[in-house]
Every structure is written in C-alpha cells, then in structure tokens.
Amino acid sequence: MARNRVIYQSEALFVNKDAALEGGYKQLERVQSANYSYTINRQDVNQYGQLGKLDSIILDAPTVSADATYYLTDGYTERVLGFYVQNTTDTASGGFVSGHLADGSGRNLIILTTPEGTDADLPSRTALAAVNSTIGIGNCYLSDYSVDMSVGAIPTVSVSFDALNINSDADAAAVLNPAIHPVDGTSVGNDATLPTPTTGQGDIAALRPGNITVGISNFASETLTDIGTDAEGAHIQSASLSIPMSRSTLERLGSRSAYARSVDFPVVSTLSVSAILNEVESQNLADIIDDEEEREVTLTLKDNAGVNAVRYTLKGCSFDSESISSSIGANKSVDFTFSTSVGGPGDTSHGVFMSGVSATAV
C-alpha cells in the first residue's frame, strides 16, 4: 500500500563522527526539524550556427546542504555532533567548536523513516528493516551553530552543514553509506549500520526560559550597567548566540568533487541580548573606547531542580554595540552585542566554551 505522507512521528535523525565509517551513529535528541537540499550547477554549451545547446555540462561540484533544529537539554546532542562539551568528570578544557576546525572527511547525517502511522522509537523497532527507508547526507561539514533563548519559548539550537553527497534507500535493510571519497567523488561503498531508535537519554525534556541567567556583570565597572537577571538589572527578554563557520569549497583540476571544505578564518562568535530598560547609570563612550580589557560573558541554563544543565562561556569577549529604542505604546528597550574570536584547539582564553550535565559516553 502506498504511503500517503510522512510526518515527524515516523522519523529519526542520526549522525556519526567519521563519514567513511560504517558505524558510530548516534541519534539526535529533541529534534524539531530537519531539512536538506542539493543544487546541480550546469553550463550550457552553444555554438554559432545552432540555436539549441549542444550539451549542458557540470563544471562545479554540486551544492549540498542540510540543517536541523532541536531543543537544548544537557549537552549530549552537542557532543554527538562533535562539539567539545565539558562535564563534571572532565579535567581538560577545549574550545566548543575545536572538533570542527580541522578538515577531514566530515560526518554523515541519516534520516530514518518508518512506516506511516508508526512511531520510529517503538521498543520493538529496528532501524535496519525492509519496511523502513532512509535519506543520507554524506561528508557534512558544520557551517553554523546558533542557540536562541527568549521569554515564552523553549531554548532552541540550529545547526547547518555543507555536504558533498546525498542518497536515499527505499529498503533500509541495507543502507548505503552516503559518503564519497573527496578526491575523486566516488562512493565509499560500505553500508551504514544504524542503532535502534530510542526516546533519548537523560531526564530533561526541555529547559525553561525562567531558568536562564545571563552573566554580564563583569562589564559593569567601566562600560555597562549590570544587566544580570536579578531585580536590580535590566529585564532580559532574549539572548542569541551565533557561531558562523563559513567554508570555502576547494577544488582542483582532475577532480570531479571538492577535495575539501575549509573553514574561513577568523571565526567570530556573536552574542546578542535584548532587554527592557529600567534604570540608567552613568557611562561615557570615551571611557568604553579606552577600555580594552577582555572579559567573560556566561549563559547558564538550569533544570527544574536548580542544577546547571548547560553553560556557555564566551572568553576574551568585547562589547561591540548598544542600541536603545523608545516609542509610544512600547516598553523602552536596549540591545547589546558582544563578540569573541574563536581560538585554536589549544586556546583556552578565547572563544566559546560549553559545559553540560550529561556524562553519557558518545
């Protein structure tokens, strides 16, 4: 019987750490959306004496992209995606995006679809079954990570990827690895082994905006009013952290595919904060310009028990802009922008750092 439609009930999203590997796939949790597309760039070949084209040839590697959104919980999903997330048992420290700075084969994303009207995470469900289908995006490279937090909304993460290949399997009993060899564009050729879909690990279903604090008080002495989340500070309405990692497609003669998708440096992370303005304190733009000291800004999200579920720390941070808006019928508001440059894998004083309560091995 033909399927009428596909909805979120029947889908599960998996990722692995190395595109060439058969296994190592982990399921992403609390996924809200998953999108993918590809574009084939062609150039028509024409000549004098003939109106119609002779041919239409492919000069560049196809453009493949994917993106997904999910609810922020305890840092587990970030670790699955290859980010460095410190937990309470870690002794080392590393930049949040350090695992995505170096070139490699990328990672694979695979979307599993089970029969219509069934939950993908049924206890009796197995991923590799003839009744299932899959769509695979091969050699994915992170191009953007952003997290949005606001009053009245669940904190949500968005991730985007540039990729090299995409395929589909109508019979998931044998799922072809979607990865290709970047040098010659040929398929890796092995099969992907997916785990059984689950409802996820951990006890945190989602985090609440009422449990979020933004620590910007260390800017108060010379530059900013303390806009912490207590009663004395401005009343924060939203905060958005963005880590764009644009990539250049590197190609060469003799290769039909991009042999690398390298990060365009420098990588600058930006934090935008919007608040309802209450008190005005003394400050001077001339003093702000003279203040060149680097500081830290923190975003802390607690669970319902008051335990720190996730914390983002922006080190080596600078204050970039302040914008105040006032109009009839609206609360007077203020917007702040901070930025920090992402350092190398061993740089612990610049960039974005993350810790999470999850200690589940990935």
> For residues 243 and 281, is the Cβ–Cβ distance under 8 A?
no
How far is it, in rounded angstroms, from Cα 347 to Cα 337? Answer: 23
> For residues 61 and 249, is the Cβ–Cβ distance under 8 A?
yes
Residue 283 — pLDDT band, cuts 50, 70, 90? Answer: low
**CB-count exposure of residue 295 (10 Å: 0-12, 13-18, 19+):** buried
How far is it, in rounded angstroms, from Cα 59 to Cα 72? Answer: 40
Tokens found for residue 48: 């004098």
How far is it, in rounded angstroms, from Cα 195 to Cα 127? Answer: 6
Question: What tens digit of pLDDT does each residue of 76-130 get?
Answer: 999 999 999 988 666 567 899 998 988 778 999 999 999 998 888 876 667 778 7
> For residues 291 and 310, is the Cβ–Cβ distance under 8 A?
no
pTM attached to this predicted model: 0.90
**CB-count exposure of residue 285 (10 Å: 0-12, 13-18, 19+):** exposed
Most confident range (mean pLDDT) of 102-111, 152-161, 184-193 is 152-161
> For residues 76 and 202, is the Cβ–Cβ distance under 8 A?
yes
pLDDT at residue 127 in the model: 74
Question: What tens digit of pLDDT does each residue of 198-236 get?
Answer: 877 777 899 999 899 888 756 554 444 445 444 455 688
Report the chain's terminal Cα–Cα distance, integer Å. Answer: 38
Q: What share of residues in the chain are helix, strand, coil (percent, to 5)? A: 5, 45, 50
Architecture of the domain made up of 209-356 = Roll (2.30)
The domain locations on the chain are 209-356
